[in-house]
Amino acid sequence: MKKWEVKKTASKGYAIGPAYVVKKQEVTVDTASISAEQVDAEISRFEAAVEKAQADLAELAQDNAIFAGHFALAGDIAIHDGVVGKIKDELMNAEAALMQVKDEYVVIFESMDDEYMRERASDMKDVSKRLLFALKGIDDNPFAAMKEKSVIVAQDLTPSDTAKMNMDLVLGFATEEGGVTSHVSIIAKNMAIPCLVGVGPMLGDVETGMTMILDAGKGEIFLEPDETMVALYKEKAEKFEAFQKELEELSTLPSETKDGHGFMLCANVGNIEDIKYATQFQIEGVGLFRSEFLYMENDHFPTEEEQFEAYKEAAQLLGGKELTIRTLDIGGDKELDYYEFPKEENPFLGYRAIRMCLDQTDIFKTQLRAILRASAFGYIRIMYPMMISMDELTEANHLLEVCKAELKQEKVAFDEKIQVGMMIETPAAVMMAEEFAQKVDFFSIGTNDLTQYFLAVDRGNQKIANLYNSFNPAVLRAIYHTIQAGHRHNTKVGMCGEFASDEKASKLLLGMGLDEFSMSAGEVARVKYQLRGCTFEVAQKLADAALKLDTADKVLELLENS
């Protein structure tokens, strides 16, 4: 028997059955040069491949919305111009030009700190492969031989791969690469299929037909287990299914503790498709709409009308539930193809987020006007990122008031009492929380950046990854200070970082007084179950004890024994 231990559980559960190893067809790309006389014909060949790929993607998009994004990517003007430019200027054939452009984009995406954006490299690879196969006239289906229920084992799986699967035959997924925001992870969560990603080298050991067990709770994979272990895991799987049914029954019950203390459970989303996915769960709203994806998925700064339509649709999908739109948080690891950011030694501490918006006021006002207009169609809140000073807040609010005055003059409807809040993600914001709380309607604590900045730890640096720990007493005290400052001035405090859904942290955060937990939609039911199972009094005592401890290990020991 062979065993793998995995850190990335994308979708919890158990899978027991034969493996089906996905072997993808490799295509050799000819790098031979073309003559100047062949340029026009080569461009026409590439454009015909784009047309073929988009026709296929349009059909797929009718059943799976992710392919609408792939349709747009296949026809993206920047990609098109990049390929055509290499054909013209470097006399490359279309295949070689396409692969070079693909590699350039993949490097950009994979260098980003944000995991969601890193996973967009997979979309680029998938669309490029589809274009390459269209150029070569190849039809590839790696699942043609799959005839029985199986655990899918692959290097990685793209949307095009999953579109060819018979999902009724899929017991689980195990991929060597990928993260928890990858396409296969989202599919697995959506369909409640056990999924482990980022397993590492595995394909060399697994053959189709071998018995596998996926424990997507602990993060373990067993190859060729004995009958005793198979029986044990079948029993675990039955208990897990019973627990899932219990979670489903929570949907009609209020979000409150045993002693009646209420809390809100919301979702973090990046686009309209994320909201459609999230509304399948027990969410009470969207605590974080990452508006930057509207900018990153375009080849131009989105117009007021384009943004208005997106925000309006988002608000209408939520049917009156909260929609908190974070204003443009670009820069750092998130760049735009059509805008050149200044070269900086440390972009995470540089020209980004609200700093860019207050400098590029036309861009900022366009977004604020769009959000205000959309607020006439639902319950929308505005949230500023990366705030560090009262001057920034004053300036941002002044621009918001200018936009309101313009819309009034134009007789355009909007919510005149729209709530305005800010992210707490820097030490400066924590230390000024008392003053900020008197000027805003709500706080949202962004623990991912707050932990990084508070501890002076680069969370992307593996050599010091062990130092990045939100259970560090300094971080916990910063969170508690922020919550208390907010509550002294009747300012609600939420959290939209990964810490909000941490199994060990949820009771602790509740005890600190956190009002709103915003997380991946698939985590909501579990957190609701956990918090409904305790009393606020017990959670408060837990928080009081934790805040007196001086190391993260002591905090974790307390939480594990509580």
List, as residue ranges, the binding site for Mg(2+): 425, 449
| Pair 101, 127: CB distance under 8 Å | no
Distance CA 480, CA 554 (A): 18
Q: What single DSSP character describes residue 443?
A: E
Catalytic residue among 70, 183, 357, 534: 183
Q: Amino acid identity, residue 539?
A: A
Provide the 3-class DSSP secondary structure of residue 464: helix
List, as residue ranges, the binding site: 290, 326, 425, 448-449, 459
Active-site residue flag, 403: no
Mind spelling out the 3-state secondary structure of 204-232? CCCCCCCEEEEECCCCEEEECCCHHHHHH
Active-site residue flag, 496: yes
List, as residue ranges, the binding site for phosphoenolpyruvate: 290, 326, 448-449, 459
Distance CA 78, CA 80 (A): 5
> Locate tokens 């930057």: which residue?
292
Distance CA 367, CA 327 (A): 7
Mind spelling out the 3-state secondary structure of 271-331? CHHHHHHHCCCCCCEEEEEECHHHHHCCCCCCCHHHHHHHHHHHHHHHCCCEEEEECCCCE
In 129-279 the beta strands, taken as DSSP E runs, fall at 150-154, 170-175, 195-197, 211-215, 220-223, 264-269
Distance CA 511, CA 492 (A): 15
Catalytic residue among 195, 266, 357, 496: 496
Q: Amino acid identity, residue 284?
A: E
Distance CA 82, CA 299 (A): 13
Annotated active-site positions, please? 183, 496
